[in-house]
A = this chain, B = another copy of it.
Amino acid sequence: MARIIAVGRIKERYLQEGIAEYAKRISAFDNIGFVEIKDSGLEEEGERILKAAGDDYVVALAVGGKELSSEEFAAFVKKYSDKKISYVIGGPEGLSEKALERADYTLSLSRMTFTHEMARFFLVEQIYRGHMINAKRKYHK
Which residues does A use to contact B, with CB under 8 Å? 12-15, 17-18, 21, 67-70, 73, 92-94, 109-116, 118, 122, 125-126, 129, 140-141
How many whole Å from A87's CB to the nearest CB in chain B?
Answer: 14
Contact call A112/B110, Cβ cutoff below 8 A = yes
A17–B70 Cα gap in the complex (Å)? 26
A140–B21 alpha-carbon span in the complex (Å): 24
What CA separation (Å) do A15 and B19 show in the bound complex?
11
8 Å CB contact of A12 from B12, B18, B93, B109: B18
Distance to closest chain B CB from A120 (angstroms): 13
18 contacts between A and B (CB under 8 A): A13-B17, A14-B15, A14-B21, A15-B18, A18-B18, A67-B110, A73-B112, A109-B110, A109-B112, A110-B112, A112-B122, A112-B126, A114-B125, A114-B129, A114-B141, A115-B125, A118-B122, A118-B125
Is the Cβ of A122 less than 8 Å from the Cβ of B114? yes
Of B13, B14, B21, B113, the residue contacting A69 (CB under 8 A) is B113
B18 to A113, Cβ gap below 8 A? Answer: no
The CA of A49 and the CA of B87, in the complex, are separated in Å by: 39
A105 to chain B, nearest CB (A): 15
